[in-house]
Structure 1
Amino acid sequence: MVDRKPSGEASAVTAGASSDCCSAGHSLSDSAVAADVETLATLGNDTRYEALRLIAGADDGVCVCELEPSLGVSQGAVSQALSRLFGAGLVERRKEGRWRYYTATPRAERLLRVLDETREAGDE
């Protein structure tokens, strides 16, 4: 058990615990942790997650006008979702005439695949 001192620093408070009882840690930098948290936060919204699923399932990119009826939200909400997905590096966009088309990045496709695999593993 970890207790927070008033100063905010952690201290071990379990009976008989020594300060070196375990060496929990990870090899990620602070910026990598922040990027991962941002990615997970981006996927933690129904509209953004469903938009990414639709985009990843399309063969040649998806236009905003195609997502609006599928997601059942306003064009503004779709645009905000796509902007956040783009900012998190989960979609790429290209402009053709007056239309913008979105495709899933390889990273997004891998993340969705891992989610599918872990969901399926839970069914066994």
Structure 2
Amino acid sequence: MVTVKNLTASPYDLETTAGFARLPAFGELTRPTKDEPGEFTGDYLQLLEASMAVQVLDAPSKPHPLDHDGDGRKGGSKPAAEGEELAKLRADYLEVVGKKPYHGWSVEELQAKIDEKLAE
């Protein structure tokens, strides 16, 4: 349910999925209600939010487009999905070479380095 508040002395006709709805001067309009159906579309809500003439209350929250890891802040990144094979090769590299492997190496690179060390 979304409420739009008019901040001006002029009434507005707002577009809903069920037609137009009158927003009185300095008044509020809530959609949808059980008596009056019709919702504001997402694009139209963004247009209303950008307007200086109205204030959108109770708008459905949407995540920030730059929130990559879902923590509510801009930025960040999701951790890479680490395969079991890569984890096993990293453990093998540590055992064979005695050092931790570089985290940017792929499965093929790790296997090649382990094979190279075993060939010595």
Q: TM-score, normalised by structure 2?
A: 0.23
Q: Which has the higher helix share?
A: 1
Which structure has the larger Rg?
A: 2
Normalized against structure 1, the TM-score is what? 0.23
